[in-house]
Structure 1
Amino acid sequence: MLPNGSLDPQALSRLWERQWPECPPIAHWLRGHYPDRWIRFHSLPESKRYPDSEAEYAIVLDRHYTVLAELNPSPDLLVITADWTDTPAPTPPKWPRRSEVAPAAQHWQTLIERPDDDPEFRIYTQLYAETRPWRPGIIDVALRAVADDEIYSVILSPPDLRWLYHPYDGGADVILPTTAERDALKNRHRAWLSTHSSGL
């Protein structure tokens, strides 16, 4: 963080490389690179994918905030969102909903997920980051947009990046500092796990 509260993109990149050297900040890659520290929770009973009512949205939000509170990002929550462009420049965005959900986020970095693609058809991942004072409810809009598949590739974390939380439409992937911490969190919320042997 800089003195005025804005993010230092280079410092954040260096911190990411120290904390998570095996994987760039691409949300859906995390579980594959850190399987021994990964756990997935489903956001609705019986692994239902999408909420259909306000009561189900309440369950989705309650599960997210329950886990986040136990992870304890206090005092601030780092919110990383993504967009995609046809050029290395961060505009024009393909998903304007991202800027609606996180209008204060600063551009962090540009990544190429598939560098072997034909350059004429290459898609660039634009990452944005911001910090928000942590409290339950602080990211309701973003979590509801994720639940509705309006945005994706969101990563939540404390500013020191000691753990990573990736909500998706149907649940959340959590990457913990150690396998023991992963197992403890898993045991506290076994009812929210997949019944599939892969954990997905």
Structure 2
Amino acid sequence: MTDDDYPPPPPVFLSPGAPPEAQSLLDRWNEQWPGRHPWRSSARDARPDAVVRFHTLPNGGQELRHNRDARTVSRKFRRIVRATEHVTGLPAAVIIMADERSLGDCRDLIRSTVPGLRPWVTDPYPFPNDDDDVVIDDGPASPLESHSFRSGPVDDDMLTALTRLVHYFDADFMILPEDLSWAASTYDGGVDVVLRTAAEAEALADLFTDWLPPEGWGGFHTWCRDATPRERRLLS
């Protein structure tokens, strides 16, 4: 089966306790990203021709080796987000954060790092796939996945804190403008930005060519740069 053979995912719905403006945010999300759930990978998959991937650690690394690495990934993420604002003319104004379902340090750290998060949407139980070997038992149901949001200016300190959340807890979040027309997210060792058009994506890629994945690097990317001799050896 191809992806087109599967039914579309059921739409998200407003979470209990969501504030009145949550519906407007959901309407804007559905307008910009129809049929997509608010995970960072969903935005990327929606516009594959308008995605730029940047590496933030040397040689495609994913782990922070020391404090200098932590400062480097934060600095690059800040510069990329500010450049995205410049290219699009739209400032970052919304944070969408996947909720941590389990109690503990991770949930507490997310809430303290991004104060003012409010309930937004809940992902319904996904459609079953066509794999007959997958059996869903009748045990206690797991909590549904949900997302919270925060509206307002996103300053450099917040971008730095969000980068650390990703590297230490793999937090799933997106930075977006008020109309939700572009999305920026970071992961271990990299940043993905989904622009409105391929032309905007190319303009952003041209600003930071040294941070693009090298030619021949595996994984998802559209724009790349020439590989260094050392990278060619690693890729061979």
**What TM-score, normalized to structure 1?**
0.81
Deviations 1:17-58 (A, max 9, x none): 111114221212222221111111111122111222221111
Larger radius of gyration: 2
Once the two structures are superposed, the pairs formed by residues 184-199 of structure 1 within 5 Å of their partners are 184-195=203-214, 196=217, 198-199=219-220
Identity among equivalent positions (%) equals: 24
Deviation at 1:113, TM superposition (A): 6.6
Matched, 1:108 2:127: no
Gaps of 5+ in 1: 1-5, 86-91
Closer/same/farther in 2, CA of residues 26 and 118 from structure 1, 3 Å limit: farther
In structure 2, the partner of 1:141 is: 161
Q: In structure 1, give the amino acid aligned to 2:75.
A: D
Deviation at 1:82, TM superposition (A): 0.9
In structure 2, the partner of 1:83 is: 99
Maintained 8 Å contact 1:39/1:199: no
In structure 1, the partner of 2:81 is: 68
Closer/same/farther in 2, CA of residues 31 and 134 from structure 1, 3 Å limit: closer
Gaps of 5+ in 2: 1-18, 129-135, 222-236
Measure, in 1, the Cα distance between the counterparts of 2:95 and 2:68. 25
Closer/same/farther in 2, CA of residues 179 and 74 from structure 1, 3 Å limit: closer
- Size of the aligned set, in residue pairs, is 188
Measure, in 2, the Cα distance between the counterparts of 1:47 and 1:39. 15
Q: Secondary structure at the match of 2:145?
A: strand
In structure 1, the partner of 2:38 is: 25
Measure, in 1, the Cα distance between the counterparts of 2:96 and 2:35. 18
Deviation at 1:123, TM superposition (A): 5.0
Q: In structure 1, give the amino acid aligned to 2:34.
A: P
Matched, 1:99 2:115: no
Q: Secondary structure at the match of 2:186?
A: strand
Closer/same/farther in 2, CA of residues 24 and 186 from structure 1, 3 Å limit: same
Closer/same/farther in 2, CA of residues 43 and 74 from structure 1, 3 Å limit: same
Closer/same/farther in 2, CA of residues 33 and 118 from structure 1, 3 Å limit: farther
Deviation at 1:142, TM superposition (A): 1.9
Q: In structure 2, give the amino acid aligned to 1:54.
A: N
Measure, in 2, the Cα distance between the counterparts of 1:53 and 1:145. 16
Measure, in 2, the Cα distance between the counterparts of 1:75 and 1:194. 26
In structure 2, the partner of 1:42 is: 55
**What TM-score, normalized to structure 2?**
0.70
Once the two structures are superposed, the pairs formed by residues 131-170 of structure 1 within 5 Å of their partners are 131-148=151-168, 150-170=169-189
